[in-house]
Amino acid sequence: DVKVTQSSRYLVKRTGEKVFLECVQDMDHENMFWYRQDPGLGLRLIYFSYDVKMKEKGDIPEGYSVSREKKERFSLILESASTNQTSMYLCASSLSLGARKNYEQYFGPGTRLTVT
Amino acid sequence: KNQVEQSPQSLIILEGKNCTLQCNYTVSPFSNLRWYKQDTGRGPVSLTIMTFSENTKSNGRYTATLDADTKQSSLHITASQLSDSASYICVVSELNTGFQKLVFGTGTRLLVSP
């Protein structure tokens, strides 16, 4: 059964702290994604990775960085957390991206981050 | 600009009734359209994926339709259950040479009342 797990369901951090969100998938998927979800807005892509040590910016990468040292693990890093980064963060994974293939993205349960 | 718009924003129905959720999109070039169900505080779970050539797909009590000419999709839920209370998100995949970029709607929040 497909499984994407995220390290924390809820997280409270202070402004200026460095924050790590971890995501692990057990499906041997090549691709992993980080999204944030805010009320009234659709999911927005922050970063994605199509291979170990490879990363691409999504639509809203500012204030974030990522790390993928192992195939199964994709980390989102907030270098200096700010209150406008309070949000629900969702990790997803999928098989190799092919323009003409409809590979499913499987989502983790989400991490609700509050920055005070 | 590629967009996905959903209606209504929210909906309340009685248990056992049917309902239809709407999705209009302007994403081009089009690759596929997906419907996801997202329970409160959880990640989205896929219900259906449809390509350009498919105009209907079912998953149990969920039936999605696609009209690629008018760029509209609908999700019909039959004989609703309390467990159907969730947000339903329409997602359109943009076709390009590199990868499938997903464009998300803001969702329809459905409440099934006993």
CB contact under 8 A, B89 and A109: no
Residues 6+ apart with CB under 8 A from B24: B4, B5, B6, B7, B71, B72, B73
**Residue B96 — very low, low, confident or very high, per pLDDT cuts 50/70/90?**
low
Looking at the predicted structure, is the pLDDT value of residue B101 above 60? yes
Token pair 């409440």 is found at B111
Q: What is the pLDDT of residue A83?
A: 97
The per-residue pLDDT for range B8-27, each reduced to its tens digit, is 999 999 999 999 999 999 98
Q: What is the pLDDT of residue A98?
A: 61
- Partners of B61 in beta bridges: none
A104 touches chain B (CB under 8 A): yes
Burial of A61 (0-12, 13-18, 19+ CB in 10 A): middle
Residue numbers in A near B44 (CB within 8 A) = 43, 90, 107
- Chain B nearest-CA residue for A43: B104
Beta carbons of A115 and A11 less than 8 angstroms apart: no
Q: What is the pLDDT of residue B1?
A: 76
* Average pLDDT estimate for B20-44: 93
Regions of chain A short of the pLDDT cut 70: 1-2, 97-102
B48 touches chain A (CB under 8 A): no
Alpha-carbon distance of B9 to B18, in angstroms, equals 17
Selecting from A40, A99, A105 the residue whose C-beta is nearest the C-beta of B95 gives: A99
CB contact under 8 A, A110 and B41: yes
Looking at the predicted structure, is the pLDDT value of residue B47 above 90? yes
More confident residue, A29 or B87: B87
Alpha-carbon distance of B83 to B30, in angstroms, equals 32
* Chain A stretch 19-58, residues whose beta carbon is closer than 8 A to a beta carbon of chain B: 40-45, 50
- Partners of A44 in beta bridges: A36
Cα torsion B100, B6, B49, A21: sign: positive
Residues 6+ apart with CB under 8 A from B59: B47, B48
Q: What is the pLDDT of residue B43?
A: 93
Beta carbons of A34 and A76 less than 8 angstroms apart: yes
Burial of A80 (0-12, 13-18, 19+ CB in 10 A): exposed
* Average pLDDT estimate for B49-75: 94
Residues 6+ apart with CB under 8 A from B53: none
Token pair 């081009």 is found at B28
Token pair 């994604």 is found at A33
